[in-house]
A and B are shown apart, each in its own frame.
Chain A
Amino acid sequence: MRFVTPPPVRRLPLAGEQPATVVEPGAPGGAVATSGRRLQASPMAVERMTVDRMSIAYGAKVAVDEVSLPIRQGEVLALIGPSGCGKTTLLRSLNRLTELTKTASMKGRILLDGTDTATLEPTALRRRVTMVFQQPNPFPMSVFDNVAYVLREQASRRPRKRALQGAVQSALERAGLWEEVKGNLAHPALRLSGGQQQRLCIARALAADPEVLLLDEPCSALDPISTQVIEELIVQLREQVAVVIVTHNLQQAFRIADYVAFMYLGELVEYGPAEQVFGAPRADRTKEYVSGGFG
């Protein structure tokens, strides 16, 4: 793990949040055994990013309104909510991709290990906080080159192909793709199946050895079987990186998330452990949304 001494865990209470209901993983109350959940939250959760009263507007339209959130390593945080609720915008602001939109304006802070991300070089930030997009977007190159691309272009001097081999293999292994592609790394990435493409994108994002992995509805363009593979992958990954996933699939959030943040019209309505948000939501809007999804 990259951090020898993890920074102190500090969490801001959220608007309307009852501190008592937030169950810290590892604490006695946190180990609630719930049916349907595959894995328990890691007891090693360490806070890596803090969203502090973040507001984002596109022109006059407010997309994210004063949201505060912690993001911890060892857990999967799922952002849920109806379409257009600002969850993708929030996710994109975590590695400052929102800035690519010219009309976007931001207020508030996002801290990465205590440092305001605004003071970091965007490129440097995005190396530590990488992103996987909704549509699989492998580059028009071979499988190998797709993963090696990150390593090649991030390095200050272009590494040799031999030196990359190990790193590429490890990234593909961590993304669970190695067994499928090891025979032909020169295969055009765009000829892989959709699920493989998305796992390649995850491998690409992992190759840079990031600290936080952002996933923007990574399964929305995939079939159920690929989705399952990727979900299992995400659950495994949380040990190595802090994972934030945007999803509008409630079952998926329930299956893989340790913590869930429910957003509605740009506001953070509820944040808490997955069991609590799905089992005993506090806000009415959450209840409506969650029950609508669960029937």
Chain B
Amino acid sequence: MLGALVCAVLLFVLTIVVFVFKEAWPSFQHNGWAWFSSGGNVDRQIQEIFTAAADLRRPVYTFHAWPIIWGTFLITTGAVALSFVAALFVSVFIVEFAPEWIRTILEPVVRLLASVPSVIFGLVGVLVLVPFIGEHVISDDNRRSVSYIVSLSGYSLLAGVLILTLMIAPLMIAVFSDGLRSVPRGWLEGSLGLGINRWRTFWKIGVRTARPALVAGTVLATARALGEAVMLAMVTGGVAFAPNPADGVIFFVEPTRPLAATILQASEELTAPAMRHTIFAIAAVLLFSALMLSLTGWVVKQPMKKYGVRA
């Protein structure tokens, strides 16, 4: 009986995947690999797809998603890299080095922060960080220098990365510190008993042994970062602009918009078939990335099993 129920759930999930890819197919079909390339303005393309929908016989499908893919990539990598370093040190600190009283505060705080809704992070970003960047980080010279391409207002890549880091770091810390805590005491004591200091012992034996947990936490956090729509729609500016590293420091304060936020903002216009296919194509890219992410995590964990690290 339970087995049948499980099968039903599996079937349903399979349906989701199949449906998303099926709905996405026409958009990929019309654009080919160019779907992933740059060319033209994504926002204008979405607009055209939507307006052309009135004429059902000649739908427009042209869509070149590079700017939003690039934006997603930048925000996700930036936030994951930052939060990985931070989370690793914080969880080592929590598990091994923090005095008892700090630990008793820090642990619930991490859990609390991990469960704060993203829209609240977005609100803090919009009302605090974005104005700060707009007033203190971006100078008038900066604004003028790129004024013919994009307007700088504080809604930026930087704001997105920082807030997203704050959002996913607690997830990582939670998983990392679980992994670090379950490192067998025998290994740590064995190292201490050989005269290796506590930092080295924990770094070389503890963190090394907990590598599968590091991978798991990173995968989880990356998935969350990839799929974060609401907060990023709020703080990154909502313009499908591809920040250009060639712009120097301005690069960080240029606006952008990742894939998930694009879906959110275009969701009002789902009724037209061409529009729906395009949006589902974006969703399919996200879903595919999430699948690949789990797979990568699994592949990365495999060699760790060789020396007996439990994965």
Contact = CB atoms under 8 A, between A and B. Distances in A.
Given A149-B204, A153-B200, A131 B193 contact: yes
A123 B196 contact: yes
Interface string A29-54: 00000000000000000000000000
A130 B196 contact: no
Contacts of A126: 192-196
A97 B192 contact: yes
Interface in B168-212: 184, 186-187, 189-197, 200-201, 204-205, 208-209
A87 interface: no
B189 A133 contact: yes
B194 A133 contact: no
A244 to B, nearest CB: 13
A208 interface: yes
Interface string A202-218: 00110010000010000
A200 to B, nearest CB: 11
Interface residues of B, number: 22
Contacts of B209: 140
B101 interface: no
A127 B195 contact: yes
Contact of A95 (B187, B193, B196, B201): B193
Given A188-B306, A188-B307, A189-B307, A137 B195 contact: no
A131 B307 contact: no
B308 interface: yes
Interface in A139-160: 139-142, 149-150, 153-154
Contacts of A161: none
A148 to B, nearest CB: 11
B200 A190 contact: no
A242 interface: no
A141 B190 CA distance: 14
A131 B194 contact: yes
A197 to B, nearest CB: 11
Nearest to B201: A153
Interface string A102-136: 00000000000000000000011111101111010
Contacts of A201: 190
B193 A133 contact: yes
A128 B205 CA distance: 21
9 contacts: A97-B189, A127-B195, A130-B193, A132-B193, A140-B308, A189-B307, A201-B190, A204-B194, A214-B193
Given A131-B194, A139-B187, 9 more contacts: A123-B196, A126-B194, A128-B195, A130-B193, A137-B189, A150-B195, A154-B196, A188-B306, A191-B308
Interface of A: 95, 97, 100, 123-128, 130-133, 135, 137, 139-142, 149-150, 153-154, 188-191, 201, 204-205, 208, 214
